Amino acid sequence: MENRKKIIVNKEFQYRYIGNVLVPVIILQVILWGSVQYFFNKMKNLGLNSGFQENHPFFKFVEVQRSDLSLIILFAGIAMTIALFVWSIYMSHRIAGPLVKFENMLSQLQNLEEAKTKKLVFRQNDYFKSLAQKYNDFVERLK
pLDDT at res. 104: 87
Contact 91, 17 (CB under 8 A): yes
Q: pTM here?
A: 0.77
Q: Which residues contact 76 (CB under 8 A, 6 or more apart)?
A: none
Say how many Å lie between the first and final Cα of the chain, rounded.
Answer: 22
Cβ-Cβ contacts under 8 Å for 12 (sequence gap 6 or more): none
Task: Report the 10 Å Cβ neighbour count for 39.
Answer: 14
Domain boundaries, the chain: 11-142
Q: What is the pLDDT of residue 3?
A: 58
Give the pLDDT score at 66. Answer: 97
Question: Could you tell me if 6 and 97 are in contact, meaning their C-beta atoms sit under 8 angstroms apart?
Answer: no
Per-residue pLDDT of the chain (143 residues; tens, 9 = 90+): 455 578 999 999 999 999 999 999 999 999 999 999 999 999 999 999 999 999 999 999 999 999 999 999 999 999 999 999 999 999 999 999 999 988 888 888 777 777 778 888 888 888 888 888 898 888 888 87
